[in-house]
Chains A and B, each alone.
Chain A
Amino acid sequence: MTKKALVSAAAGIAAWLATGCAFAAPQFSFSKPSVIAGAKLFAEHCSACHSVGSLRYNRLVELGMTEAQIKKDIMTPDGANYLQGMTPTMNMAEAKQWFGIAPPNLSHIVRAQGKTWVYTYLTSFYWDPQRPSGWNNHLFPNVAMPDILSPWGGTYAKDGTLMQPGLESQAVYHKQVAEIVDFLRYASDPSIFKRRADGPYVLGVLILLSLFAYLLKKEYWKDVHKNDKTGK
């Protein structure tokens, strides 16, 4: 069963490659602007169903957004609280009835699955009339989620043929998916920018300390090495 799924997935991806569809390594730029762009795209396309419960809206201020921008571009209008974690618009109990499973909280998805996995997942949907949602996924067979990005990225058949082109060029579309993944990567570990900013100073101080400690040690050990020569 799994083997069959793997073989068909491999065949699908091979066919997709052969047809020359835009396959490119994910273009993660991972910077504050790319995370903000990703947060906006996430708010627009994903946060109707998915929460990012661990990340509070007001946290995004550290990326350089203002409270007004966050409220306008990121927060879903109903029920969201600026000081609380990012919530979905959808009622989770209803969502469970519709999809068979409640859409998961995506706070830790990149830490748990890896950024490449999330990117590949988002770009591996294909049209499958046998599924209740009409969608299936090469990476995650029989997934409950429909390909909500297909109006922009295009609709593909299982063998990789383009059934319906998307509104955006492949280059723009893939960059935007990468930005969503950048945002989720930040959401799974928001200390990352702080770590990167402070890291050089911390390491600098410690290297300096080691250097002085080395000089101190050398000074103290002079007489030990002197005694080595005299055999004392």
Chain B
Amino acid sequence: MSRFGDWLNERFPARELMREHMTEYYAPKNFNIFYYTGSLLLLMIALQLVSGFLLMAHYVPTSADAFNSVQGIMYDTKWGWLIRYMHVDGVSLIFILLYLHIGRGLLYGSYRKPRELLWIIGYLTYIMMMGEAFFGYVLPFGNLSYWAGQVITSIIHAVPFVGPGLTTLARGGPGVGTATLERFLALHAVLWFLIIAALIVMHILALHQVGSNNPDGIEIKKTKGADGHPLDGIPFHPYYTVKDIFGVGVWLTVFAAIIFYAPTMHGVFLERTTFFRANPMVSLPDVTPPWYLAPYYAMLRAIPNKYLGIGLMALAITLPFLLPWLDRNPVRSSRYRPVYRVMIIIMAITFFTLAWVGEQPPLPKYFIVERMGAVLYIGFYLLLPIISSIEPTRKVPERVRS
């Protein structure tokens, strides 16, 4: 090592960190396409920080000027459109990655012992991200922002006794206005972001404590070679760093294609009603959340009673925390659990059907879809303890398949 390197490492554990988390962190060698999502999420969140910082340099958080300042970014600021599209489309792409990342955890049983805390920290990050996204889409103060802000903050109203007071506190007044934008900006750019960043660090530390799971759900630490390293493990650096660079290249190509050729994704990534200025006098025909929050909104609407609806939504959001204890099968990966695999496929279809129906206007013909979706979603978690303790399993191999 160079003299500078020695000087540095006497004062800062750079070499030690590199060894612990990169060159001597052994990851299973059978990672598949789902395992790109972690590094891509890290990349996308870093990009959100950069684009968000640049947007904030031009944004004015007042009800009179917020909409204009965002249009100023789009029309008059050099490369402003690129920065804003990166930030807006980045959100949808982050949620696509999050759902793949969470779905992978379900498929391969990555939430199981000893990774319970890893799962809980990760799921908590996802819930915080939903809040972050909500604060973010109120900020441009289009008409959708205004009404979404009204509707979502009114959910707090349902809290017993303190609800009305809390709603006023959240809005900074009786309605959504300048005070709301100011506090939402502070929450979006400072508090929530810091909490998410801290959770991500904890998520990675917890991962490196227990080691990565893999598509076979086998503990690679069980079969170690003469050198004490897992036989089915390879050092994260250089093997997975070079692999992830390839993933980054492909992902950025997709990201750029969206930004340059379909930045609103036909109203899915950037809704049409955000292009009308916020107007308390003109209510929207239907206030629908962005696609990534729509499944929960669909469940909220499934019961035509405010308290029960909110209760169902809260249950749907919190149930996955219990997953490590609801699954009782000794086998982790769905590769060796045919019944569990079918359950997950049904769950995925249910979730995206709920996302679709949550975007539809509140018509009676959709109620049946919303209710069936809610039953299947909740049913997955209720039936899992029973099915997982009686389901047939295939023989799990000793070593990972590659």
A positions within 8 Å CB-CB of B: 54-56, 59, 107-108, 111-114, 188-191, 194-196, 198-199, 202-203, 206-207, 209-211, 213-214, 216-217, 220-221, 224-225, 228, 231-232
User: What are 17 A-B contacts defined by CB distance under 8 Å?
Assistant: A54-B74, A56-B75, A108-B275, A108-B276, A112-B272, A113-B272, A189-B81, A190-B75, A191-B74, A195-B261, A198-B260, A199-B261, A206-B252, A210-B246, A216-B245, A220-B242, A225-B402
How far is B238's CA from A217's CA once the two chains are assembled, in angstroms? Answer: 9
Chain A interface, >50% SS class: helix
B113 at the interface (CB under 8 A from A): no
| A207 and B260 within 8 A (CB) | no
Q: Which of B238, B263, B275 meets A220, CB within 8 Å? A: B238
B256 at the interface (CB under 8 A from A): yes
Minimal beta-carbon separation of A213 from chain B (angstroms):
4
Given A56-B75, A195-B260, A210-B253: A112 touches B242 (CB 8 Å cut-off): no
How far is B71's CA from A196's CA once the two chains are assembled, in angstroms? Answer: 20
How far is B327's CA from A16's CA once the two chains are assembled, in angstroms? Answer: 63
Say which size band chain B's interface belongs to.
20 to 34
Specify which chain A residues have a CB less than 8 angstroms from the CB of B82 in the assembled complex.
191
| A199 and B260 within 8 A (CB) | yes
8 Å CB contacts to A: which residues of B79-99? Answer: 81-82
How far is B402's CA from A217's CA once the two chains are assembled, in angstroms? Answer: 16
B16 at the interface (CB under 8 A from A): no
Specify which chain A residues have a CB less than 8 angstroms from the CB of B76 in the assembled complex.
56
Q: Which residue of B lies closest to A117 (CB)?
A: B272
| B249 and A210 within 8 A (CB) | yes
| A217 and B242 within 8 A (CB) | yes
| A54 and B256 within 8 A (CB) | no
Chain B interface, >50% SS class: helix
Minimal beta-carbon separation of A96 from chain B (angstroms):
14
Q: Which residue of B lies closest to A214 (CB)?
A: B246
| A217 and B276 within 8 A (CB) | no
| B249 and A221 within 8 A (CB) | no
How far is B77's CA from A59's CA once the two chains are assembled, in angstroms? Answer: 12
| Highest count of chain A CB atoms <10 Å: which of B249, B252, B257 | B249
How far is B72's CA from A56's CA once the two chains are assembled, in angstroms? Answer: 11
Specify which chain A residues have a CB less than 8 angstroms from the CB of B256 in the assembled complex.
199, 202-203, 206
How far is B261's CA from A194's CA once the two chains are assembled, in angstroms? Answer: 11
| A206 and B249 within 8 A (CB) | yes
Give the 3 A-B CB pairs with smallest separation, nearest first.
A210-B249, A199-B260, A191-B81
Specify which chain A residues have a CB less than 8 angstroms from the CB of B231 in the assembled complex.
232
Specify which chain A residues have a CB less than 8 angstroms from the CB of B234 in the assembled complex.
224
Specify which chain B residues have a CB less than 8 angstroms from the CB of A220 in the assembled complex.
238-239, 242
Q: Which of B75, B245, B260, B273 meets A217, CB within 8 Å? A: B245
| B257 and A54 within 8 A (CB) | no
8 Å CB contacts to A: which residues of B227-269? Answer: 231, 234, 238-239, 242-243, 245-246, 248-250, 252-253, 256-257, 259-261, 263-264
| B275 and A217 within 8 A (CB) | no
| B246 and A202 within 8 A (CB) | no
Q: What would 15 more interface pairs be, CB under 8 Å, given A199-B261, A203-B257, A217-B245?
A: A112-B272, A112-B273, A112-B276, A189-B74, A191-B74, A194-B81, A195-B261, A199-B257, A199-B260, A206-B249, A209-B249, A210-B249, A214-B246, A225-B402, A228-B402
